[in-house]
Every structure is written in structure tokens, then in C-alpha cells.
Amino acid sequence: MRQFNTAGPSTATDHYCVDPLTRINLDEIISLIDSKKYFVLHAPRQTGKTTCLLALMRYLNTQGRYRAVYANIETAQTARGDVSQGLRAVCGCVAGSIRRHLGDTSPEEEWLKIFEAHGPNESLRYLLEVWTRNDPSHPTVLFLDEIDALVGDTLISVLRQLRAGYTDRPEYFPTSVILCGVRDVRDYRIHTGGGEIISGGSAFNIKAESILVGNFTRADIVELYGQHTRETGQRFGIEIFDKVWDDTAGQPWLVNALAREACFKLEEGKERTRPIDLELYLQAREQLIRSRATHLDQLTDKLREDRVHRVIAALLAGEADAETISTDDLQYVQDMGLITLDRQVRISNAIYREVIPRELTWTRQLTIAQETSWYLTADRHLDLTKLLRAFQQFFRENADAWIERFQYKEVGPQLLLQAFLQRIVNGGGRITREYSLGMKRMDLFLEWPLDETLMFRGPLQRVVLELKIRRKSLKTTIAQGLEQTAAYAATCGTDEAHLILFDRDGGKGWDDRIWEQTETWNGNTIQVWGM
């Protein structure tokens, strides 16, 4: 039985998969190759880049005009700045790939001799020349994957050898070289052995284009899930596809991982006569997030990087505009797959919006001594007034010490509230988060099932919580917040709404910062909380 793939390249015999060549602009790529161009093809991790590259290599070789080879040179990363060790690994990977994919053994037999004769800073160039000259009637095309895994002088040497051979193409050097990785070559910041920092663009200034491997389209998701239905008979409810699209924005690993959780890991989902409806899908979604799977763990590891920190902290706060953040930082975080820059700067998809605050507060959640049962009424509603009063006291007692431990101190109050809420809601509800640059706040939408047997198929308590940092006068901040909270409550279809204002003025005492009041805005009752 085929599976939904969440690890390594996809193969049609083992995995449900869409045609990888539909995710790239094939005509553009062929045109670049025909024009003897060198270019970059990049995509975030676990988006199916390697699957696309292997499919493109097979396509070119099947057409018969070129000899194409894909080589993953990630093993050379361990060499760090040791150029000799790094280039030995790169040349070995390229020669081995030529043998495996084309059956051309002479480069592999000769590469050690080449390395000894020409040294690390010339060996790759001569290896590629030998390969190209072996069959002059078929120009060579080389895909170098994980190029941005190389470090320092090793990366400089590879880029400069490719640039040095460029003028000898197509008779004595590959007619086209495609550099593949997470980032565009312009973002390779290379620390040389002498302490110099140069960019990949200056070391490889022959690049013609930079092409991004796209995510799945909505139609791709329908086709992928439809393959499972056709092979097993298990249907996906039509109502889940809008939710999958919002949750993933077509990110391939997420699309596959959600279906894998629903169809192969949940006990109910393993029963093929049981359709994957919205309730089952939401269970799979929560289980995936809580699992802290490798992909999500790698994502959160990126949050520790300074360049990512600057962008994500601004997004969480909603206080900055795109103009206040370095363009290089924005582009880098986009290349990581964490944000999208279309129309407004925002987190790429709903699952990432959920995971990022959770992961930033993971250890805090584990140490908050709170129980869901403390805040449940007799009719199983969450008593948000009681809960937020409890948080006010918790915040008063713990904010200074706890926020100091956060890496994201600038949004510490918002994160601490979310850790507190998540601790309570993990008992059976869910929180949806909305935030992007320029929003001036973070929106939280809490849904709590009122019937434990029906869960999300039954009646729900729906609550809007709007989080704002007080920057202006209290009167102005409340007025703006009430308008925003009422608008968000109308969008979510709920009458229960809370506006939470965090005052970062360290000169104020807690008695002045902790307060609550009830306001009305266009007929909507909104509880306002000061902290």
C-alpha cells in the first residue's frame, strides 16, 4: 500500500504523489538550459525539491539531448573550512552520481588522479571537463543540490571553479549548472579563512535567474488525497479541503503529514470505511502539532537565529511595518518558508502561526500549575472572566522573572498569556491565532466544545481575545482596541470578546497596571483588561 510521504524523495511506487514537474516552470527551465545559462533553483526544506530535481534529471536524460546528473554534496559540509577535505567530498559525490545516473565510469576512475594532480581549487573544474569531453555530442547539465550547506572557503572554491569553467561550455564544461538549496545564492554569507565576509553573488556572478520550487496548489491537494481514496476507498469530506488549504498553503510536508496522521496514525482513521471528516481532520491536526515532528522541530530551531528573531518578533507584536525590517532579513526568512511577502508580511500558513507561539513557550507551559477543571462552569463553559483574573495574578507574580527567560522578550507578555491559555485549552479546545506586520495586535480565537461526547461536532463556546501593547494614551489605545476587537468578533461570529492591554511602562506599580472594565462598542459588550 502506498503512503503519504513525509521523509525523503517521493517515488510513485511507494508514495501518493503529484507530478513533480508541474511544480516548476518547466518551459522556463528548459529555455535557460538551451541558452547555456547557469541558475539557481531553491525551496524551503521538505517541500519536495529533491523529488523535483530528480524528475527533471530523468526528463532531460529521456529526451536524449543532454546528459544530466544530480549530485547531493551535503556530505562536504562536515569539512567546514578545510578546502582539501571539502572538495574531495564534492568531487567524489559528483563522480559517483555520474556513474549511478549515466553509467559513465571514467570520471569516477579518474577523479582521484585529477584531485592529486590539480589540487582542491582546480579538481572540480577538471573533473567536469573530463566528463563533458567524454561525449561531445551530448552537452552536460549538472544539478548541485545542498550547495548552501557548504561553508566558508569550501563554498568559495566550488563557486569560483564553476565560474572559471563557464567560458569553456559547452565543449569542455557543463552547458548548464543549476545550484540547488534552501537559499538563493545572493544570500550565501561566506566567512573566509581570513575573516573576510563575501556574498555568494560576488563569488558566482554568472547566475542568470533564481527559480523557486512552488508549493502544492489546491488542485494538487485534491489529487493527492484522491489517490488514497481511489486505492483504499476511504473518502475525504469535501469540507476539509478549505481547512487544509488554510492550514498549509500547500506546503508539501504539511499536506502529506496531516493526511498521514488522519489515515494511518489515528485509530479511527485506520478504518477505511470511516470518512476523514472535519472532526477527524482536526484531531489529526492537533496530534501533528503536539507531536513536535522533525519538520516542525526544525522550524522552531530556526527561531533562535538572530535574523529570524528580528522578523518573527515584529510579526508577533504586530507593531512594525515592513519598511522597518531589513529587506535581507525578510528575504532570508521567506527562503526558510516561514513567511510570505505577498500583499502583506505574514506567517506562511495557519499551522506555522499556531506552532511558533506554542514552541516559544513550550517549557513555560509545562511548568504552569493550572488545571482546566478550575475554570469550567456547571454547563461546561470556560469562565473567561475567572481565567483572566487568575492570569492577572499570575502575571503580577511571575512576569518579570519569566519574561526574562524568553528569547523573544519584546513579545514576552503576549507569549506568557498564550502559554497560560494553552495550558488550560489543551484540555479539549483549540486556539486560532492571527498576526502580521502592521496589525498592531494579535488576534486569538478560542473554541471550546460544550459536549464532551460530540466535541467539535456539537455546540461550541467561541471567544475572541485581542492582545495589544499600550503605546499611546490609555483612552486612544482602548478606543482603537475596541474597534478592532468588535470587528474580529463579527468575523468569527461570536458575542464574547476580551481586549487585553499590556503596559510596558516599568515606572508604574502593579496596582496601576492591573485593572478590568466593561465597555460597549456598536452594541457589543467587550471586557477590557489591563496588565
Q: Residue 80: which pLDDT band, with cuts at 50, 70 and 90?
A: confident
The three three-digit cell numbers of residue 91, written as one number: 568531487
Q: What are phi and psi of 135, to 5 degrees?
A: -145, 80
Residue in 248, 236, 242 with CA at minimum distance from that of residue 277: 236
Q: Residue 197: which pLDDT band, with cuts at 50, 70 and 90?
A: very low
Q: Say how far residue 142 (Cα) sits from the centre of its chain.
A: 28
Q: Say how far residue 35 (Cα) sits from the centre of its chain.
A: 33
pLDDT at 363 over 80: no
- 401 with 427: CB under 8 angstroms? no
pLDDT score of 192: 47
Q: What is the DSSP string of 393-421?
A: HHHHHHHHHHHHH-S-GGGHHHHHHHHHH
The rounded distance, in Å, linking the Cα atoms of 75 and 132 is 24
The three three-digit cell numbers of residue 161, written as one number: 571553479
SS (H, E, C) 118-160: HCHHHHHHHHHHHHHHCCCCCCEEEEEECHHHCCHHHHHHHHH
Which tens digits make up the pLDDT trace of 238-255? 999 999 999 999 999 999
> How many helices (DSSP H) and strands (DSSP E) are in the chain?
21, 15
What is the pairing mode between strands 67-72 and 140-145?
Answer: parallel
- 124 with 92: CB under 8 angstroms? no
178: left (phi over 0), alpha (psi -120 to 50) or beta: beta
pTM: 0.87
Choose from 124-128, 291-295, 400-404 the range with maximum mean pLDDT: 124-128
Q: What are phi and psi of 500, to 5 degrees?
A: -115, 120
CA angle 114, 117, 122 (to 5 degrees): 70
pLDDT at 277 over 90: yes
DSSP state of 6: -
The rounded distance, in Å, linking the Cα atoms of 212 and 25 is 9
**How many of the other CB atoms lie within 10 Å of CB of 13?**
7
The rounded distance, in Å, linking the Cα atoms of 513 and 218 is 47
| Cross-strand bridge partners of residue 434 | 443
Q: Which of the residue ranges 107-111, 184-188, 326-330 would you say has the lowest mean pLDDT?
A: 184-188
Residue in 181, 254, 179 with CA at minimum distance from that of residue 216: 254
Q: Which of the residue ranges 22-26, 72-76, 247-251, 295-299 would you say has the lowest mean pLDDT?
A: 295-299
Q: What are phi and psi of 235, to 5 degrees?
A: -90, 155
pLDDT score of 320: 58
